Amino acid sequence: MTKQRIRAIATDSLELPAEIAFQTAKLVLVGNHMLKAINHRGILLYETEQIRFRTESGLVEIRGSELTLSELNEEYLRIEGHICSLQLIEAGEAAQ
């Protein structure tokens, strides 16, 4: 049995959220003014009109105006401002 399969069984049995068990990113967009991200892997670009950060599966790029990182720690970040677009860039595409 693979490690991934064991985690899936444990996740189901313990009713754990997938983002905790598999360390995948969870993104929550609140209207067009706030984005919460759990399990990010670091900030790559921080400007008032664009923020880019890494996740396990690739990159997330936020575009807008008056963007700020209102909260940031090792696992969690919160972006506030006027969000115009959110783009998910898979790991293979990010290298191109």
Provide long-range contacts, Cβ within 8 A and 24+ apart, for 14-19: none
Position 18 in a domain: no
Q: Is the entire prediction scored with pTM above 0.85?
A: no
Position 80 in a domain: yes
**Which structural domain range is residue 78 located in?**
23-94
Tokens linked to 7: 């985690």
Number of domains in the chain: 1
pLDDT computed for residue 78 by the predictor:
97
User: Which residue is associated with the tokens 């991934």?
Assistant: 4
Instruction: Residue 63: give its domain's CATH number.
Output: 2.60.40.2000
Position 9 in a domain: no
Position 7 in a domain: no
Position 5 in a domain: no
Each of the 96 residues of the chain gets a pLDDT tens digit; together they read 776 666 556 555 655 455 555 567 889 999 999 999 999 999 999 999 999 999 988 999 999 999 999 999 998 999 999 999 999 998 876 555
Position 17 in a domain: no
Position 69 in a domain: yes
User: Which residue is associated with the tokens 């790559």?
Assistant: 44
Torsion of CA 47, 36, 30, 34, to 10 degrees: -30
